[in-house]
Amino acid sequence: MNTIDESDIRAFLQTLIQRKLSNSYINQVINAIKFYYEVVLGMPHRFYDIERPRKEYKLPKVISKEEVIAIIKNTNNIKHKCVVELLYGSGLRKSELLNLKINDIDSKRMLVRVENAKGNKDRHTLLSKIALDDLRLYFKEYRPKVYLFEGQKGGKYSGESVLRIVKMASKKARIRKSVSPHILRHSFATHLLETGVDLRQIQVLLGHSSSKTTEIYTHVATNTFKTIKNPLD
């Protein structure tokens, strides 16, 4: 390994780029190489000149409130309807939805308790009155035992099922964009920002550890641009 020089490492990284692997993956490879040489072999700063790929900066994809309502109306049954209403109305990640227990729905305080979310943190987020009314109908019909949403044989509902619910309802609603559970979460945050909710409050609802993560929604919220007069007009 001591015979390998920077040109060899660069050539290896170039093959990873040609395979169209993500920037984050390539950065992890560089970190592993640096750890091996600098920590394991005790050769500090061996490859400090290797240029890292720039971090990808992508804006969140968002759909309109009208499109969200259309998706909800095109779900197949009350269970599917509640799944979409909670993904959007509470801004949940898919994994958070799947981990919800029955007693995580706080109807008195109109909150949803999210336990062991990303970063092993608990938080509360909003519970929609519309979603609560539908959840009561759903509970009477399906009678879940432990998790709020369970499979046909009991146990936790699958992520594939949630993804399929969103995709099928979006297709029936004739929405041309590709909609995922995470796009519903992005839309929840963006629509709150557009109605004047403070960024700090949105950060708490989403469970973001850094405000910079939440600030990205200012780049897609329509109220960011409403005060700007279009030069064509």
Digit-by-digit pLDDT tens for the chain (233 residues) are: 556 776 777 788 788 877 877 777 888 888 888 787 777 777 766 655 666 666 666 789 999 999 999 999 999 999 999 999 999 999 999 999 999 999 999 999 999 999 977 767 899 999 999 999 999 999 999 999 999 999 988 889 999 999 999 999 999 999 999 999 999 999 999 999 999 999 999 999 999 988 888 999 988 888 878 778 888 88
The one catalytic residue in 94, 185, 186, 191 is 185
Which residues does 223 contact at the CB level (< 8 Å), separation at least 6?
193, 194, 196
The one catalytic residue in 34, 46, 191, 208 is 208
Which backbone phi and psi does 195 adopt, to 5 degrees? -95, 5
User: CA-to-CA distance for 82 and 89, rounded, in angstroms?
Assistant: 10
* C-beta of residue 98 within 8 angstroms of C-beta of residue 146: no
Known catalytic residue: 45? no
Record the pTM: 0.76
Known catalytic residue: 109? no
The one catalytic residue in 61, 118, 167, 172 is 118
Which backbone phi and psi does 102 adopt, to 5 degrees? -55, -45
Known catalytic residue: 182? yes
Known catalytic residue: 54? no
Tokens of 173: 């609603």
Q: Alpha helix locations (H) across the chain?
A: 6-18, 23-35, 65-73, 78-89, 94-98, 129-142, 159-172, 181-194, 199-206, 211-215
The CATH class given to the 65-224 domain equals: mainly alpha
Helix (H) or strand (E) holding 115: strand 111-117
The one catalytic residue in 93, 123, 124, 167 is 93
Show me where the domains of the chain are located.
1-57, 65-224
Burial of 178 (C-beta count, 10 Å sphere; 0-12/13-18/19+): exposed
Which residues does 39 contact at the CB level (< 8 Å), separation at least 6?
none
Known catalytic residue: 191? no
Known catalytic residue: 118? yes
Which residues does 191 contact at the CB level (< 8 Å), separation at least 6?
65
Which residues does 199 contact at the CB level (< 8 Å), separation at least 6?
193, 211, 214, 215, 217, 218
